Amino acid sequence: MKPRATVATDAERTEGRTAVPSGEDNSDEDGARARSRASGPPARPSKRRGKKTKAPFEPGGITRRLRFRRDRTLILMTVPAMVLLLVFNYIPLLGNVVAFQDYDVYDLGITGSPFVGFDNFTRIFEDHRFWEVLLNTLVIFLTQLILFFPIPIAIALLLNTIMSARVRAWVQAIVYLPHFFSWVLVVTVFQQMFGGAGLVAQWLREHGHEGFDLMTNPGFFKFLVTSQAIWKDAGWGVIVFLAALAAVNTDLYEAAAVDGAGRWRRMWHVTLPALRPVIALLLVLRVGSALNLDFEQILLQRDQVGAGASEILDTYIWWTGIKTGDFGYAAAAGIFKGLFSVAMVLGANKVAHMMGEQGVYSKK
């Protein structure tokens, strides 16, 4: 915009397309010259349909009422989505009042149930089962973070060194595939491989060993869910890193090679630094959603493994609320989870800023 100076500005203004911000971005003298040359009314609000107005101008050069009239179709288009969000995201938010009630589903409902203040929260904090579940959630999360996170990076680095576009496309097609499988399917596939009647147990029995059943082993559960997550989504995670790798300036590699850096040093000093912001961003997001493990995945296996090893915060909320009917307690646990998650995002982002990375939102 800037280098094209007055002519471009003028042309665009008469075309009536200049968006509000870019129009105002031009330095004042540009704007002034453009305006003085155009012999129309001062500061024409030449917006899309070139509607004329004598009303006082907003920064956009057009009144709110006119902007509304101009954009009413656009606003109309967003209505269905906004209604859905309102009904299924914002109204339930108000439904969280049951956390402060002695909620009775059958007779009283939300409007009639008596308020009990913070009783539900005190019950949570005094319940040692709740703390066990929270700890278990964090343990599973950490296992996943440590074992899962490096794998997409490794696959991306490997794929990036493959020159043949055809091989790359095939491998990508294969590694992306399990991402589109449902959790039910993934868990059943694991059941057929590692369950008591699965392929591995079957092979071991044929060769005279004891069969085993990883699917019902509580001690192994955190590694089981991690390997399922890796099987399903590690390939999909590659996309982000491949894009970041494709954006690296190849001149850097050439310069490094000319300076005598071999392939490992180029990877260490060029590739990995280029990935750093992406890694930081994904880490922040991941830590921020620490309590949002894959609910479906774990709920599917809760019966087999037993609630002791497999209960996470989400399944605990589901169990206490929907299964045993203690809605107030479960909703309070849900609020705790929400606040805890927000604190985790903010905390992780703060750490990222301290390490000089940008994080999810920039520091302003």
Partner 1 sequence: MTTLLDTEKDGRPSARPTAERTRTPLQRALRTEHRPVWEEEPTKAGLAFKGVGLFAICAVILVPIWVVVVTSLSDTKAINEAGGLVVWPKTVTFVAYTELLSGGAVTRAALVSIGLTVVGTVFSMVISVLCAYGLSRKDSFAHRPLLMTMMATMFFGAGLIPTYLLVTGIGLSDSYWSMILPSAISVFNILVLRGFFMDTAPELIDAARIDGAGEWRILLQIIMPLSRAVIAVISLFYAVGYWSQWFNAMLYIQDSDKYPLQMILRQLVLQHQVPPGAMGAAVSSGQINSLSVQMAVMVLALIPVAVLSPFVQKHFQKGMLTGAVKG
292-351 positions binding partner 1, by CB under 8 A: 295-296, 299-301, 303-304, 314, 317-318, 321-322, 327, 330-331, 334-335, 337-338, 341-342, 345
270 touches 248 (CB < 8 A): yes
Q: Which is nearer to partner 1, 36 or 115 (CB)?
A: 115
Question: Is-contact 53 62, C-beta < 8 A?
Answer: yes
- Per-residue binding string, partner 1, 208-247, x by CB under 8 A, is -----------------------x---x---xx-xx----
Contact flag: residue 146 with partner 1 (CB under 8 A) = no
**To the nearest 5 percent, what fractions of the chain are helix, strand and coil?**
75, 0, 25
Provide, rounded to whole angstroms, the least separation between the CB of residue 255 and partner 1: 9
Binding of residue 55 to partner 1 (CB under 8 A): no
Of 76-84, 117-125, 134-142, 217-225, the segment contacting partner 1 by CB under 8 A is: 76-84
Stretch that binds partner 1, among 1-9, 38-46, 137-145, 193-201 (CB under 8 A): 193-201
d(CA 123, CA 329): 8
Residues 35-54 within binding reach of partner 1 (CB under 8 A)? 48-49
| Residue 111 interacts with partner 1 (CB under 8 A): yes or no | no
Contact 61, 42 (CB under 8 A): no
Which is it for the CA torsion 152, 153, 156, 161, positive or negative? negative
CB of 355 to partner 1, least distance (A): 21
Amino acid at 290: A
User: Phi and psi of 211, rounded to 5°?
Assistant: -75, 165
- Least Å from the CB of residue 74 to partner 1: 4
Q: How far is the CB of 45 from partner 1 (least distance, A)?
A: 12
Q: Which residue from 184, 272, 343, 355 is in contact with partner 1, where contact means CB under 8 A? A: 184
Residues with Cβ < 8 Å from 336, sequence gap 6 or more? 121, 124
What's the CA gap between 173 and 161, in Å, rounded?
Answer: 17
Complete DSSP assignment for 26-87: S-HHHHHHHHHHS-SSTT----TT-----SPP-TTSS-HHHHHHHHHHHHHHHHHHHHHHII
Give the one residue of 7, 19, 142, 272 binding partner 1; rule: CB under 8 A.
Answer: 19
Candidates 36-44, 116-124, 135-143, 198-206; binding stretch for partner 1 (CB under 8 A):
198-206
In the set 7, 254, 273, 343, which binds partner 1 (CB under 8 A)? Answer: 254
> Considering beta carbons, is residue 36 or 348 the nearer one to partner 1?
348
